[in-house]
Each structure stands twice: as C-alpha cells, then as structure tokens.
Amino acid sequence: MQTCGQGTIFFHGDVGEDDSRCHLAASSALLARIEAQRAICDSADRELHRKYEQGDDLKLQNILFPDYQEPNEG
C-alpha cells in the first residue's frame, strides 16, 4: 500500500508501477489546475483588453476634440 499526493491509496505489488501511477495522477491534477488557471487568465485578459479599448476611445476623442465640453443642463 502506498499513498500518493492528496492521500490517494494504491494497492499494487510493484513499487515501480505504483510510482508511475502516482506520477500520472499528480500530472493529471497539475494539468487540470493549469487549464483552469489559464481559463481564468484568458477571461481576465479579455476584460482588461475591453477596458483599455474603452480608455483608448476616450483618449482619441480628447485628441480629436480637445476643447469639447459636455453641454450644461439646466
């Protein structure tokens, strides 16, 4: 009996086979975490890009019409 990673227990006679299964389980878990983190980063990147595009639009408007002021209401 051998434990692996987060407490998973494997029952096999061959220690080399156990090590291989342990490494496979660990790499599968790491790959899943990396994929999840990448999805989070991609989403944040899209949001940041959208916000910067909005900021660039405002800067461009200010360059093209530097003296423009919103009309006062009232």
pLDDT for 58 equals: 76
CA distances from 55 to 9, 18, 42, 49, 52 (A): 54, 55, 20, 10, 5
Task: Compare 33 and 1 and report the one with higher pLDDT.
Answer: 33
47 secondary structure, DSSP code: H
Which sequence spans correspond to the domains of the chain? Answer: 2-64
13 secondary structure, DSSP code: S
Helix (H, G, I), strand (E, B) or coil at 57: helix
pTM: 0.51
pLDDT tens, residue by residue, 5-57: 555 555 555 557 888 889 999 999 999 999 999 999 999 999 988 888 887 77
CA distance 74 to 57: 28
Whether the predicted pLDDT of 67 surpasses 60: yes
Give the amino acid at 34: I
